[in-house]
Amino acid sequence: MSVMENDTFAIQNMSDSSSEIKNTALENDFTPSKLGTKDYWDEAYQRELQTFKDIGDVGEIWFGEESMDRVIRWIETQNLSDDISILDIGTGNGIFLVELAKQGFKNLTGIDYSSASVELAKGVLREEGFTEVNIEEMDFLNPPSDLTSFDMCIDKGTFDAISLNPADGQQGKAQYVASLRRFLRPQGLFIITSCNWTKEQLLQIFSPGFELAKELPTPRFQFGGVTGNSVTVLVFKYQA
């Protein structure tokens, strides 16, 4: 995927976020976008997969490497057992899983509804020598009935994409929360990196049931006299 397209995503959401700082009402949802459609991601990852096959480039790191490092650094401080089960929701190129595997985590799963993303993530993990990481093609909003629950779920940009769905962004958000309740074990952790939603909005969307455990500091910007964050990273604990 080109930097241009990622910028479009970020710019659209960053410009929206200045008004959200003043008004966090959830009715002020984002303009629906093709970035909320499966067709968009299928096409994007088919291109990225081809590039990976051609020149070995893993493709876009959504919101930059720092956004991933920030979460990894926080996880490191928690002294978690290396066999906790971690699910990467909408794994894309699987690079977050590569970083977690490098930290020694052994029980890793990534899901994505784009088959090209799944092939790309498998290829990237294989290339890095982490063949034991489980990658599955799955729609997070329509999970199978027999799924096992995880100790931790991470999301970078997937909830954002789902909430941009032109057909049913509102419904998608509600379904996302319902799925998360199924995927996460009680007291499990959910770490979300979002450029669409402010801290206040995320607290509202994931309440009740998900209690804020930590907000990770992110760069701040000023726009029209209002200060806000370009990216929000929150850690929630699931109080089932």
Ligand X SMILES: C[S@@+](CC[C@H](N)C(=O)[O-])C[C@H]1O[C@@H](n2cnc3c(N)ncnc32)[C@H](O)[C@@H]1O
Told to check if 41 binds ligand X by CB under 6 A, we report: yes
Q: Residue 94 carries which side chain, given as an amino acid letter?
A: G
Told to check if 43 binds ligand X by CB under 6 A, we report: no
Burial class (CB in 10 A: 0-12, 13-18, 19+), 78: exposed
For the segment 198-227, give every residue that binds ligand X (CB under 6 A): none
Binding mask 60-79 for ligand X (x = CB under 6 A): --x-----------------
Q: How far is residue 3's CA from residue 206's CA, in Å, rounded to a whole number? A: 30
Beta carbon of residue 137, minimum distance to ligand X (angstroms, whole number) = 9
Smallest CA-to-CA distance from 71 within 173, 203, 214 is with: 214
Using the minimum distance from each CB to ligand X, give the nearer residue, 35 or 236.
Answer: 35
List 49, 97, 118, 157, residue binding ligand X (CB under 6 A):
157
Determine which helix (DSSP H) or strand (DSSP E) holds 156, and give its type and residue range.
strand 150-156
Told to check if 90 binds ligand X by CB under 6 A, we report: yes
Determine which helix (DSSP H) or strand (DSSP E) holds 50, and give its type and residue range.
helix 38-55
Smallest CA-to-CA distance from 156 within 220, 86, 212 is with: 86
Using the minimum distance from each CB to ligand X, give the nearer residue, 20 or 155.
Answer: 155
Told to check if 158 binds ligand X by CB under 6 A, we report: yes
Neighbours of 84 (CB within 10 A): 17
Told to check if 117 binds ligand X by CB under 6 A, we report: yes
Binding site for ligand X (CB under 6 A): 41, 62, 90-93, 96, 111-114, 117, 139-141, 156-158, 161-162
